[in-house]
């Protein structure tokens, strides 16, 4: 092998030290830690819904229609006598699934495209840049609504629509990162050492993009969570009787005069869920920002 990896040992210990430093910096931010804990709680609730929720999401107690909160029904019941607390727990599944999977989908599609455009430049870069501009001409939610309409209403399709709608913005970010990283001295050194493009991208460009991507993910997740709620609210996502926070808002809006609490609880769930990811994202941005971490 003609390519010599310089000072592997030092780099490894340096990386470990950096990781420890980042963890310390993160733990010193109580608000970011709270964000992480709450976000993880929402994920755990979504995963464990069948075991936590006191009732099945579609179980109707017709003796208790639009009941106020009680020992039996912590947050009361809705217009069909369904337990609101249980439905919020079950509804977290749709939100977390849409939020996390849509973000993963966007990353899987956008990052390779952005990397290729930014790293290779040449004719491919302006082509990708223009195509991104075209997709960016459609606002995120309009794109998601349009795609959801094309794909048909369901949680899976709403997730795909939200993921694809997040792609153009993410391509732009990863392309910009790859463009600037390419000019770094260590990349030039690797090229001079005769490393292959694939190796440089895998070993040098991509790892250095990670912090930006993590921060981007914490921006896209809450956007997708709210996006799912909007799509379901408009009838383009999860369909009743299946539950999601957006569906609960859509059902509850007809009872705004008699039982505004139906909308209140579902909306608070969306709010706290997206707030937790935003807090986490802000904290991570402060910690990972290379200008402050060196």
Footprint of other proteins on this chain (CB under 8 A)?
A: 130-131, 133-142, 145-146, 149-150, 152, 179, 222, 226, 229-230, 233-236, 249, 252-253, 256-257, 260, 263-264, 266-267, 270-271, 274-275, 278-279, 282
Complex with other proteins: residue 46 or 117, whichever CB lies closer: 117
CA distances from 195 to 72, 189, 191, 285 (A): 66, 9, 6, 31
User: Least distance to other proteins from the beta carbon of 43, Å?
Assistant: 17
**How long a stretch of residues is the chain?**
294
Looking up tokens 């804990």 gives 37
User: Least distance to other proteins from the beta carbon of 230, Å?
Assistant: 6
Please check whether residue 220 is in contact with residue 103, taking contact to mean a CB–CB distance below 8 angstroms. yes
Closest C-alpha to 246, from 222, 227, 259, 221? 227
Complex with other proteins: residue 112 or 267, whichever CB lies closer: 267
User: Least distance to other proteins from the beta carbon of 163, Å?
Assistant: 16
DSSP state of 77: B
The C-alpha torsion from 177 through 178 and 184 to 188, rounded to 10°, is 180
Complex with other proteins: residue 81 or 146, whichever CB lies closer: 146
User: Least distance to other proteins from the beta carbon of 236, Å?
Assistant: 8
What is the token pair recorded at 49?
């819904």
Complex with other proteins: residue 34 or 52, whichever CB lies closer: 34
């Amino acid at each position: 092998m003609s390519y010599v990896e310089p000072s592997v040992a030092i780099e490894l210990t340096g990386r470990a030290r950096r990781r420890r430093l980042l963890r310390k910096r993160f733990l010193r931010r109580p608000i970011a830690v709270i964000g992480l804990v709450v976000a993880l709680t929402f994920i755990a609730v979504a995963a464990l819904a069948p075991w936590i929720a006191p009732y099945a999401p579609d179980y109707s107690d017709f003796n208790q229609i639009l009941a106020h909160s009680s020992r039996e029904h912590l947050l009361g019941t809705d217009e069909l006598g369904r337990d609101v607390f249980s439905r919020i727990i079950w509804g977290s599944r749709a939100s977390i699934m849409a939020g996390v999977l849509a973000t993963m989908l966007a990353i899987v599609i956008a990052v390779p495209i952005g990397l290729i455009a930014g790293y290779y430049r040449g004719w491919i870069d302006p082509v990708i840049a223009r195509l991104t501009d075209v997709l960016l001409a459609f606002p995120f939610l309009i794109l998601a609504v349009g795609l959801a309409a094309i794909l048909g209403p369901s949680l899976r399709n709403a997730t795909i629509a939200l993921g694809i709608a997040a792609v153009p913005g993410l391509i732009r970010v990863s392309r910009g990162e790859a463009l600037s990283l390419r000019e770094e001295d260590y990349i030039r050194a690797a090229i001079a050492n005769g490393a292959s493009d694939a190796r440089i991208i895998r070993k040098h460009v991509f790892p250095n993009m990670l912090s930006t991507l993590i921060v981007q993910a914490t921006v896209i997740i809450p956007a997708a969570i709210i996006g799912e709620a909007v799509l379901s609210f408009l009838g383009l996502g999860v369909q009743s009787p299946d539950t999601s926070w957006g569906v609960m808002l859509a059902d509850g809006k007809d009872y705004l005069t008699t039982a505004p609490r139906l909308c209140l609880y579902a909306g608070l769930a969306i709010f706290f869920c997206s707030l937790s990811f935003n807090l986490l994202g802000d904290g991570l941005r402060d910690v990972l920002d290379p200008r402050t971490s060196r």
